[in-house]
Structure 1
Amino acid sequence: MALYKTLARIFMFTMVLQACGQNDNITIKTTQLSNHVYMLEGQGGNIGLSVGDDGVLIIDDQFARLTPKILAAIKKISAKPIRFVANTHHHGDHTGGNANLAEAGATIIAHDNVRSRLETDKEKDMLPVITFNDKLSLFINNERVLVFHLDNAHTDGDSMLYFTESNVLHTGDVFFSNRYPYIDLTSKGSVDGYIEAVKVGLMTIDEDTKIIPGHGQLSNKAEYEIFLKMMETLKNNILAEINNGASEEDVASNETLTKTYDDLGYSWNFITSEKIRRTFYKSLKK
């Protein structure tokens, strides 16, 4: 577990360094999903955006150094003020711009556990000022946006946001499109919780829903169902090994357990096939 914590810290530190050192090379890509809902891609977690007469709602805000570029991209769409920022969880590639946007007048919203975890950073300006335990609704730009908590999935503070009229779902990091997910065990994430969270997301949407994943390309229900099957397949494969007495090293070295999805390109630079096997083992062994 100590090694896992160290790797997680290294990952987040590396992401921050990349945000600082490669800022000039980052372009904010904007994709319109409905009359007033957009997806923004830059560096870090994907951003959701609602614009209209009521102002602007942002879902996640990437890194602090990218705020000027993000704001410039938003201003091309709307001159209205940014009223709300909703954080899907506490990781820095989703909350790094909080302080900048709060200074610009935005109200930050997140789950109770997101505030608790961000409080340890002792940067008060980045903290959510409205928190919730289970769910809430935002009524903005002629649309109800459902915000609901997911227990112990990617972390212990995950939320999804569903635009009820636009039929758009922002999953936060409870979906990594076409790649293995990062399950933050040090922040009380778990394999079982993650799988259950995906099922909740799938029950919320239909075949026409556009999905903004935490990372990766714009997606849909069919692809999310494939992602769920991957998660359940890996769970079944690795749980069977655990029940047969396999050790973590046995599972980590057994490439057959993930081969089907390795061959489809799910392994990536941070969550390799070996790391996902170790993550599943550690979570399921408990």
Structure 2
Amino acid sequence: MNLSVASKRNSLFTASLLLAAIFSSGSIASAAAQQPRVADGFSTDWANLKIDVRELAPHVYLLHGSGGNTVASIGPDGTLLVDSEFAQVAPKLTDALQKLGAGPVRYVVSTHYHSDHTGANAAYHKDGAVIVAQENCRLRMMQTQFSQFWNRSSPPAPAESLPTLTFDRKLTLFLNGEEIGAFHNQPAHTDGDAIVYFHHANVIHMGDVFVNNLYPYIDLGAKGRIDGYFPVIDEVLERIDDHTQVVPGHGPIATKQELKAYRDMLHTVRDRVAAQIAQNKSLEEILSSHPTREFDRQYATDRVGGDGFTVMVYQSLTGKRLDWHPAS
């Protein structure tokens, strides 16, 4: 064989191997980039769990260990908590409150029934706290609940966790020189959502009606619905200003503009799905159009990805209940 020809063939073969490696590694990198990020804030390493504490305003604090965000009002009248996180968090949450000089917990306001927001209610009720919630929240906690999305049931909450003071539309508490208003607009995340506003501190806790940098889980089994989110968020946007600290059910503190951006994302995806439903498109066709495409980088996680959110919106708008679950 001519050596120059052989040399060229070897060079071409080597180049093809290099190109294959480059494209292969690129495909792997691309696939890795498409993997949803792991949602943080849900640790089950109870022994090593740490409580993050942040002062939002004088005597008003954000605390978080695992589960939903907790807001605490601490002062001479005692302590009020909004959401209590998982049951296993209670000892460390209590220690963190004591380090802040908190007195006894007199009230716990639950933004909805899910156990990552109500699990530690029993520990504080045992010590004399009044558990406050929207009336449907108590009803949900008293019953077995089934999530079609997660394909699992949750048993009734322990009696000690149940709200002992409920309201329909609104309730106001005056504590530690603060006016604390809890209000319910309509079903959104669940049918028992409560928004809690600390007027003087200018801090608002949204529960899971707003989850920052996450797609929401719409609890269809608890009459949650996508179209309920907009009146609730719009009412909040009308009440607050550019200085309000917006506490989501999960994720970091947000601004009014970030809450509005979240609302606009929800509406964009909702309208895209609705338009295709009106065209008699199947769910498979709707999913293939990727209605969440430009939002996935910010909002998709291993808990709720773009497809999962699309499916929940579809079910909410059509009333269909599908045997669809996120890939494990």
Tell me the TM-score normalised to structure 1 length. 0.90
**In structure 2, what is the Cα distance between the partners aligned to 1:94 and 1:249?**
34
**What is the match of residue 292 of structure 2?**
258
Residues 121-163 of structure 1: CA distance to partner in whole angstroms, max 9, x if unpaired?
Answer: 1621111110001101010010111110131100000000001
**In structure 2, what is the Cα distance between the partners aligned to 1:122 and 1:81?**
23
Whichever residue aligns with residue 259 of structure 1, its letter is R
Q: Does 1:197 align with 2:232?
A: yes
Whichever residue aligns with residue 304 of structure 2, its letter is I
Asked if 1 retains the 8 angstrom alpha-carbon contact of 2:190 and 2:220, the reply is yes
**What is the match of residue 264 of structure 2?**
229
Gaps of 5+ in 1: 1-14
**What is the match of residue 137 of structure 1?**
172
**In structure 2, what is the Cα distance between the partners aligned to 1:203 and 1:92?**
30
**What is the match of residue 315 of structure 2?**
282
Tell me the TM-score normalised to structure 2 length. 0.79
Asked if 2 retains the 8 angstrom alpha-carbon contact of 1:248 and 1:282, the reply is no
**In structure 1, what is the Cα distance between the partners aligned to 2:313 and 2:213?**
18
Residues 11-41 of structure 1: CA distance to partner in whole angstroms, max 9, x if unpaired?
Answer: xxxx9xx76x511232110010000111111
Q: Does 1:162 align with 2:185?
A: no
Asked if 1 retains the 8 angstrom alpha-carbon contact of 2:74 and 2:102, the reply is no
**What is the match of residue 139 of structure 2?**
116
**What is the match of residue 53 of structure 1?**
76
**In structure 1, what is the Cα distance between the partners aligned to 2:157 and 2:79?**
27
Gaps of 5+ in 2: 1-38, 144-155, 320-328
How much is the aligned-residue C-alpha RMSD, in angstroms?
Answer: 1.4
Q: How does 1:4-23 map to 2 (within 5 A)?
A: 21-23=44-46
| 1:245 positional shift | 0.9
**What is the match of residue 163 of structure 2?**
128
**What is the match of residue 300 of structure 2?**
267
Asked if 1 retains the 8 angstrom alpha-carbon contact of 2:59 and 2:73, the reply is yes
Following TM superposition, the consecutive aligned residue runs of length 4 or more in structure 1 with deviations greater than 4 angstroms are none
**In structure 1, what is the Cα distance between the partners aligned to 2:277 and 2:142?**
37
Whichever residue aligns with residue 302 of structure 2, its letter is N
> How many residues are matched?
267
**What is the match of residue 84 of structure 1?**
107
Aligned match for 2:91, one of 42, 45, 68? 68
More strand by share: 1
Asked if 1 retains the 8 angstrom alpha-carbon contact of 2:244 and 2:256, the reply is yes
Residues 214-257 of structure 1: CA distance to partner in whole angstroms, max 9, x if unpaired?
Answer: 000011101001001101111111111111111122223322x1
**In structure 1, what is the Cα distance between the partners aligned to 2:217 and 2:231?**
15
Query: Does the residue aligned with 1:173 lie in a helix, a strand or coil?
Result: helix
